[in-house]
Amino acid sequence: MLKILFHFYNLLLIVLYIYPGSILGFLVYKDLGRQPQITSDFFSISSNHLYVFVILSLLGLLSTKKIYLLFLYLIFISIFLEACHIIIPNRSFQFFDLFGNILGVIIPFIIFAFYKFRKKK
């Protein structure tokens, strides 16, 4: 069940990222140009992007045993999707968003590795 949820969330994320405008902004504000903000950004990192990739990473970690491949995939997709904003109309590439994506992937993996290390002791 978690594997299906991971794949669904992953597909939904890709659709939201490549759509030329903000689908969530349209649903919340009736404005495709406005993005809902969950919390304020911190340390020049997009909090929304961090949260999205933390959830995706956690779902992936809970649904597979191929941790190394998952990590490579998530790092790749986090960079690729943000880079796509260079060519998608009404979207813009931002390093703050990219940092949020990458940090959102790395944090769960560090926690997972720490948990595995502590569990072995």
- Please tell me whether residue 98 adopts helix, strand or coil conformation: helix
- State the Cα–Cα distance between residues 55 and 1, nearest whole angstrom: 15
| 32 in Cβ contact with 22 (< 8 Å) | yes
Q: What's the rounded Cα separation, in Å, for the pair 35 and 26?
A: 8
> Whole-model pTM?
0.86
Cα distance between residue 91 and residue 83, in whole Å: 10
The 10s digit of each residue's pLDDT in 49-88 is 999 999 999 999 999 989 999 999 999 999 999 999 999 8
Residues comprising the chain, all counted: 121
Rounded to an integer, the average pLDDT of 89-117 is 91
